[in-house]
Amino acid sequence: MKSVLPERKTLHPLDIERRELAPAAARAVRALAAEISDTLTRLSEPAECSRTLTDPALIDLVDQRVGELPGDVRAAVRPPEGSAGAAILGTLPVSDATLGATPDNWRDAARQAGGPGHRESLNLDIAVLLLARCVGEPFGWAGQQAGRLVNNILPTPGHELEQSGASSTTLLSPHTEDAFHPDRANLLMLACLRNPDAVGTTVSSVLRVDLDATDRALLGTPTVPILPDVSYGDAHLGYAAPPLPTLWNDAGNGTDTTHPTLRYDPAYTPLDNACPAFRGAYARLGAELERVCVTVVLAPGELLLVDNDVAVHGRVPFTARYDGTDRWLKRVNIRVPDRKRRRAEADENGYGQHTVAPFGRAPFGRAPFGRAPFGRAPFGARTGRAVAERETTPDGRGRREHS
Ligand SMILES: [Fe+2]
């Protein structure tokens, strides 16, 4: 499908929500993260802790101390509220000089964090975990970056053309994060550490698309499945692939556009099995998502919050440097307490993929960030600890790298 996304490069467009953290508040986040990091390295084996960030001591420290953050920090990390389905949050102080070289694969990034010359990476991991914990439950995937709660997104040699966060020279097509799975994140947090070539992250919100009632009704009808991306290998072949709706709302009809939810990953949706009418509606949805696309160029220290229930995201192509100065993002999946999803999702098998979810419900005991009165779907099987090392390939990077 031809895309106009590569041509779009808008610096911090006005039609996306932006929230500023006061410098003192931003410094408070970094200071608390550094303090937890210091405590942790005295209590635990730093290399093992940084590998997955699921050490119980770290989880406990985050939960015990996140309430110490200034109230305006916790308020700033609320779900996006505008029609863009995303918000830019600025700006955490990031020291490029102490960050060390950008690793060229996620495994090295995890292994090095917290080690000599890479303490800044671990401290930023903890900072984004604290921010994510302000809004909900950060979680990882057992089959993704070894279950690490904070993923490193960086270009990797040999993966330039993949539909994955390790790619570079290809357009990363707009998609719902982990669209194939009922436990997919409600919110996605992307924190920029380094972006020297001003590479754009794209966001398209279904709240801004213009579709008629006929198309909405077609897209709301379970018609085709969404399969796990290729980085999951053939594991999905042993599972039933039920048809899913693409776009729906709480009223369950094609006319209510008040609270739409989008579940969209065209690269892994077998449209050939759908009728022409559905394919036409799906194509018009894709064209609308391109029309309303916003490209955000994150600067170091800025974060992008994406509502994964209403917005799809992607990345424009770029040429990787592979010299230690490459673009480097941290990514966190977040479950928002009591955000409702279709009840039918509780019956999905998730193609055998499981989350790593060591955090409990939000620690503040406040009203949850709900969005729409959908039937609550249980989150299914969850592991409390990252127990499975990834399958490995000859290049040692593992075979399940996706974003
Ligand atoms: Fe993604």
> What digits encode the pLDDT tens for the residues 158-210?
988 887 788 888 888 899 999 999 999 999 999 999 999 999 999 999 999 99
Strands 86-90 and 247-248: unpaired
Cα 114 to middle of ligand 1, angstroms:
26
Cα 328 to middle of ligand 1, angstroms:
14
Q: Packing angle between helix 23-43 and helix 119-135, nearest 10 degrees? A: 110
pLDDT beneath 70, residues of the chain: 1-14, 230-233, 235, 250-258, 361-403
Cα 172 to middle of ligand 1, angstroms:
8
Cα 165 to middle of ligand 1, angstroms:
7
Give the closest residue to 81 by CA, choosing from 369, 376, 375, 361. Answer: 369
Cis peptide before 91 (omega within 30 of 0): yes
Cα 64 to middle of ligand 1, angstroms:
30
Q: Report pLDDT for 230.
A: 65
What are the phi and psi torsion angles at 76 (to 5°)? -70, -25
**What is the chain's alpha carbon radius of gyration, rounded to the nearest angstrom?**
20
Q: Report pLDDT for 341.
A: 83
Cα 181 to middle of ligand 1, angstroms:
13
Q: Report pLDDT for 117.
A: 77
Residue 19 near residue 89, CB atoms below 8 Å: yes
Q: How far apart are CA 140 and CA 150, in angstroms?
A: 7
Q: Report pLDDT for 2.
A: 40
Place of tokens 């754009």: 200
Q: Is 352 exposed, middle or buried (0-12, 13-18, 19+ CB in 10 A)?
A: middle
Q: Report pLDDT for 380.
A: 30
Cα 212 to middle of ligand 1, angstroms:
28
Q: How far apart are CA 276 and CA 226, in angstroms?
A: 18
Cα 331 to middle of ligand 1, angstroms:
9
Cα 190 to middle of ligand 1, angstroms:
10
Question: Three-state secondary structure along the chain?
Answer: CCCCHHHCCCCCCCCCEEEECCHHHHHHHHHHHHHHHHHHHHHCCHHHHHHHCCCHHHHHHHHHHHHHCCHHHHHHCCCCCCCCCEEEEECCCCCHHHHCCCCCCHHHHHHHCCCCCCHHHHHHHHHHHHHHHHHCEEEEECCCHHHCCCEEECCCCCCCCCCCCCCCCCCEEEECCCCCCCCCCCEEEEEEEECCCCCCEEEEEHHHCCCCHHHHHHHCCCCECCCCCHHHCCHHHHCCCCCECCEECCCCCCCCCCCCEECCCHHHCCHHHCCHHHHHHHHHHHHHHHHCCEEECCCCCCEEEEECCCEEEEECCCCCCCCCCCCEEEEEEEECCCCCCCHHHHHCCHHHCCEECCCCCCCCCCCCCCCCCCCCCCCCCEECCCCCCCCCCCCCCCCCCCC
Instruction: Show the domains of the chain with their CATH numbers.
Output: 7-365 (3.60.130.10)
Q: Report pLDDT for 5.
A: 44
- In angstroms, how far is CA 239 from the centroid of its own chain? 25
Cα 59 to middle of ligand 1, angstroms:
25
Cα 177 to middle of ligand 1, angstroms:
5
Residue 109 near residue 176, CB atoms below 8 Å: no
Residue 168 near residue 160, CB atoms below 8 Å: yes
Residue 163 near residue 228, CB atoms below 8 Å: no
Cα 173 to middle of ligand 1, angstroms:
9
